[in-house]
Amino acid sequence: MCGTMSKALGGSGGMVAGSTSFISGLKARARWYHGAAAPAAPVAGATEQALRILLDTPEMRERLRCNIVRLRGGLARLGLDVDSWPTPIVCVKVGDGANMERIQRTLFDRGIAIAHSRNYPGVGEEGALRIAVFSTHTDAMIDRLLGEMASLL
- Is the separation of the CB atoms in 103 and 152 below 8 Å? yes
pLDDT digits (tens, 9 = 90+) for 118-131: 877 777 888 899 99
Pairing between strand 115-117 and 14-16?
Answer: unpaired
Every domain of the chain with CATH number 3.90.1150.10 lies at 58-152
Q: What does the buried/exposed string (b/e) look like for 71-82 if buried means 16 or more CB atoms within 10 Å of the residue's CB?
A: bbebbeebebeb
Closest CA to 2 of 21, 20, 25, 23: 23
| Domain 58-152 bears CATH identifier 3.90.1150.10 | yes
pTM given for the model: 0.76
Average pLDDT of the segment spanning 36-54: 84
pLDDT tens column, 48-87: 898 898 899 999 989 999 999 999 999 999 999 998 888 8
